[in-house]
């Protein structure tokens, strides 16, 4: 997952008067000790932005050389304050500070919704003659952003567009906040937790009856659903997890879908998907539907076989006939892991002893050193929580600082509950601006499973995209790219961990870590393709639901979900409400969830260059200089062509579906 700023193209300017290259200085995160400090910083940003807009509107020069850098300066001014605040909203332990950072973002979004309708700036933009391809792409993206914010609409429609944008910002925040601050706990006796590793529940608080109170954090809820022998225990935890957000979030999601539909209609589009996809690689919902249908065709038989196998395991365990056996949603992970263990002698838990969290972080950092020639130097700057860490990213060849990277890895109350990377600030070679990114996860302190190591590497892939970016404009820096391409650099790295040469790097960073036995890794490599039919079909389902929610017909989110899920092999579970915590589609991935499958086509293609040489500095450097350095300033297809030396294709992706 990648958290980019909505309507990221554009904005700000204390630097509007000073666009000469400055000396690159490492970034430091602001430390706020009160909401009042947040508000004061926010006031400064808002004043600067208003001044900057006024100066921009007073310009008469229409040469690209003057206008485009100043537009980017507005964006940078916003990012200076709102970039770190967006991360703090997700991780800061103090609710008053989180609330203040959220309020600040709403103030910025309101400014942006109005600024992007400025007739004067829009007019200036249309007169710019771009000097080269980078300026041309930035100009086009900027004109698109102004157009999509309503710069060309009549005044009465402009007002409604602004109101809708503001309401969408507010509701998206609310949706995420409800999930983040969820306090649901489920009580279990020790007997009910049979099968669940004791380290998951042993230290949990207990209720007055002595039952263990387990919350929704992934290192807790995940193992209960995957391991509890008692099906009622699995079911209770599954229902709690899929009840998060509740009817309040369902109502919010419904409002978001209606507002996005109305927004698209203002621009003459039948659906929000039509409105949104025209700016993506996919271009139209029809192209996505076609792609999704091809993917489903490729895995549908395999999905049937996967379920038949799991039913066999359940039938044997319950000593009943296979025909009468159904895999329930809370059975899926339980029987998947049972089958994986039986077929491949692999159990995710086995890996925790080999992958301690600190060593795992050092391991992924060292991979980047080997592949991309960069070092990560721990920095002692004060941060928002004792668990958070800062690293200065340094270029090994020149010893020059490149960026800052922040990591916050363990679950705690009120923290963002998934794994994601926040692009705190983007690079701009124009002003010597160095980027920064924040990687947030919820790992188990006892060690990682191989899947959790994969998740860490995925988010680290986003972070590398952010911190190794060297774009001219911050607006196009790092992960400020099209949403259906943004996952490719992170997904690409996911399968590095199955290569024994790669895993051997662990011993370079952790002398006391035991190496993963070669035979276990070989078995894990085979096991990772197990149940791919089920897994890819699930991604297909999420993507299809998202497209339908934002498609031609108005939909009530829960009704649509129940209807669509009823047609899947496990059916719909009465009372469950998964859309109420499906944060992707409430915010940045609305009508864009298909990106995970779409980006995977690019990721698989990128991997072909690393075949048999996953630690090649030569290939790594080429990748860094093309794909990573260029962020969004060059079209994805062109970047992949530059890197691979041939046009991109989907052969590797479809081959992987059959592995």
Phi/psi at 355 (5° precision)? -120, 70
The owner of tokens 């499906």 is 582
Nearer to Zn ion by C-beta: 329 or 465?
465
CA–CA separation, 410 vs 362, rounded Å?
Answer: 16
Per DSSP bridges, beta strands 212-214 and 186-188 are antiparallel
User: Candidates 1-9, 128-136, 308-316, 352-360 — which segment interacts with Zn ion by CB under 5 A?
Assistant: 1-9
Handedness of CA 565, 567, 568, 574 (dihedral sign): positive
Nearest distance from C-beta of residue 114 to Zn ion, angstroms: 31
Among residue numbers 362 through 381, which ones bind Zn ion (CB under 5 A)? none
- Write the interaction track for Zn ion spanning residues 478-517; mark x where CB under 5 A is met and - where it is not: ---------x--x---------------------------
State the minimum distance, in angstroms, from the CB of residue 596 to Zn ion.
Answer: 8
The yes or no reply on residue 455 touching Zn ion (CB under 5 A) is: no
Among 1, 179, 505, 629, binds Zn ion (CB under 5 A): 1
**Which residue, 192 or 494, is less far from Zn ion as judged by CB?**
494
Shortest distance, CB of residue 484 to Zn ion, whole angstroms? 12
Distance of closest approach, residue 606 Cβ to Zn ion, in angstroms: 15
Task: Look at the block and give the residue holding tokens 């960069």.
Answer: 374
**Residue whose CB is less far from Zn ion, 431 or 441:** 441
Rounded to 5 degrees, what are φ and ψ at 497? -70, -10
Q: How far is the CB of 419 from Zn ion (least distance, A)?
A: 8
The conformational region for residue 478 under phi > 0 = left, psi -120 to 50 = alpha, else beta, is left
Specify the residue, 487 or 565, whose C-beta has the smaller distance to Zn ion. Answer: 487
Both tokens of residue 492?
A: 């690409």
Give the closest residue to 292 by CA, choosing from 4, 572, 458, 484: 484
- Find the shortest distance in angstroms from Cβ 631 to Zn ion: 16
Quote the tokens at residue 448: 């990682």
Question: Closest approach of Cβ 54 to Zn ion, in Å?
Answer: 38
Two structure tokens written together for 234: 């699995």
Residue placing its CB nearer to Zn ion in the complex, 142 or 466:
466
C-alpha 152/C-alpha 646 separation (Å) is 39
Residues facing residue 437 across a β-bridge: 405, 423
Q: How far apart are CA 46 and CA 42, in angstroms?
A: 6
Shortest reach from residue 490's CB to Zn ion, in Å = 5
Pick the closer one to Zn ion by CB: 356 or 423. 423
Number of residues that bind Zn ion (CB under 5 A): 3
* Closest residue to Zn ion in the complex (CB): 1
Nearer to Zn ion, 402 or 420 (CB): 420
Kindly report the number of other CB atoms within 10 A of residue 487's CB atom: 26
Q: Toward Zn ion, which CB reaches closer, 84 or 423?
A: 423
**Which residue number, 561 or 596, has a Cβ lying nearer to Zn ion?**
596
Phi, psi of 634 (to 5 degrees): -130, 145
Alpha-carbon distance 427 to 199, whole Å? 42
Residue 331 in tokens: 């059975």
List the alpha helices (DSSP H) in 550-594: 557-566, 583-586
In sequence order, what are the residues at sequence separation of 6 or more whose Cβ sits closer than 8 angstroms to the Cβ of residue 43?
A: none
* Angle between helical axes of 557-566 and 532-549 (0-180°, round to 10): 150
The least distance separating Zn ion from the CB of residue 299, rounded to whole angstroms, comes to: 21
- The residue (of 3 and 13) whose beta carbon lies closer to Zn ion is 3
- Both structure tokens of 32: 């706020």
Q: Which is nearer to Zn ion, 426 or 439 (CB)?
A: 439
Q: How far is the CB of 458 from Zn ion (least distance, A)?
A: 6
Return phi, psi of residue 378, to 5°. Answer: -60, 140
User: At its nearest, how many Å lie between Zn ion and the CB of residue 348?
Assistant: 20
Output the CA torsion 9→12→13→16 (10° steps). Answer: 40
Nearest-angstrom CA–CA distance, 557 and 514? 48
Q: What is the binding site for Zn ion (CB under 5 A)?
A: 1, 487, 490
């Amino acid at each position: 997952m990648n958290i980019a700023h909505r309507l990221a193209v554009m904005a700000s300017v204390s630097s509007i008067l000073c666009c000469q290259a400055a000396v690159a200085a490492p970034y430091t995160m602001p430390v706020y000790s009160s909401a009042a400090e947040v508000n004061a910083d926010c006031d400064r940003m808002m004043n600067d932005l208003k001044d900057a807009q006024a100066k921009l509107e007073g310009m008469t020069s229409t040469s690209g050389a003057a206008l485009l850098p100043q537009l980017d300066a507005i964006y940078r001014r916003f990012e200076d304050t709102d970039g770190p605040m967006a991360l703090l909203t997700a991780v800061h332990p103090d609710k008053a500070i989180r609330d203040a950072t959220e309020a600040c973002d709403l103030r910025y979004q309101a400014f942006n919704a109005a600024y992007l309708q400025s007739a004067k700036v829009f007019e200036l933009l249309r007169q710019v003659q771009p000097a080269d391809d980078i300026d041309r792409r930035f100009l086009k993206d900027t004109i698109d952003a102004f157009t999509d914010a309503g710069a060309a609409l009549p005044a009465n429609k402009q007002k409604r567009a602004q109101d809708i944008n503001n309401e969408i910002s507010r509701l998206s925040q609310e949706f995420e906040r409800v999930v983040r601050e969820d306090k649901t706990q489920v009580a279990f006796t020790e007997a009910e937790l049979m099968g669940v590793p004791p380290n998951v529940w042993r230290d949990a608080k207990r209720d007055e009856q002595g039952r263990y109170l387990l919350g929704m954090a992934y290192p807790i809820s995940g193992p209960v659903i995957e391991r509890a022998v008692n099906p009622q225990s699995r079911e209770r935890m599954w229902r709690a997890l899929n009840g998060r957000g509740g009817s309040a979030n369902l109502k919010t999601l419904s409002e978001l879908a209606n507002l996005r539909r109305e927004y698209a209609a203002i621009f003459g589009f039948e659906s929000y998907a039509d409105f949104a996809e025209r700016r993506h690689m996919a271009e139209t919902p029809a192209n996505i539907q076609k792609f999704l249908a091809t993917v489903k065709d490729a895995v549908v038989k395999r999905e049937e076989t996967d379920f038949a196998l799991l039913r066999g395991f359940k039938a044997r365990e319950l000593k009943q006939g296979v025909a009468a056996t159904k895999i329930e949603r809370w059975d899926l992970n339980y029987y998947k892991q049972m089958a994986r263990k039986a077929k491949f002698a692999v159990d995710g838990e086995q890996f925790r002893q080999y992958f301690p969290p600190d060593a795992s972080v050092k391991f992924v950092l060292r991979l980047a050193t080997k592949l991309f020639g960069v070092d990560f130097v721990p920095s002692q700057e004060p941060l928002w929580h004792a668990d958070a860490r800062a690293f200065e990213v340094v270029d090994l060849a020149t010893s020059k600082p490149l960026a800052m990277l922040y990591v916050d890895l363990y679950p705690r109350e009120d923290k963002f509950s998934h794994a994601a990377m926040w692009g705190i600030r983007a690079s701009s070679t124009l002003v010597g601006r160095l980027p920064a990114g924040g990687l947030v996860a919820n790992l188990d302190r006892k060690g990682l499973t191989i899947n959790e190591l994969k998740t860490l590497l995925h988010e680290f892939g986003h972070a590398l995209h952010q911190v190794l970016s060297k774009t001219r404009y911050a607006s196009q820096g790092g992960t400020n790219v099209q949403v259906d391409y943004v996952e490719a650099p992170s997904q690409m790295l996911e399968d590095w961990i199955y290569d024994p040469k790669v895993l051997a790097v662990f011993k370079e960073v952790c002398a006391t870590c035991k190496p993963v036995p070669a035979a276990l890794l070989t078995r894990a490599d085979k096991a990772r393709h197990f149940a791919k039919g089920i897994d890819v079909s699930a991604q297909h389902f999420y993507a299809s639901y998202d497209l339908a929610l934002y498609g031609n017909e108005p939909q009530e989110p829960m009704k649509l979900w129940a209807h669509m899920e009823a047609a899947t092999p496990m059916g719909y579970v009465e009372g469950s409400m998964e859309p109420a915590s499906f944060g992707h589609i409430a915010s940045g991935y609305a009508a864009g969830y298909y990106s995970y499958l779409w980006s995977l086509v690019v990721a698989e293609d990128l991997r072909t260059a690393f075949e048999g040489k996953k630690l090649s500095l030569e290939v790594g450097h080429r990748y860094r200089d093309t794909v990573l350095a260029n962020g969004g300033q060059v079209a994805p297809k062109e970047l992949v062509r530059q890197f691979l030396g041939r046009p991109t294709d989907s052969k590797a992706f479809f081959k992987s579906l059959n592995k």
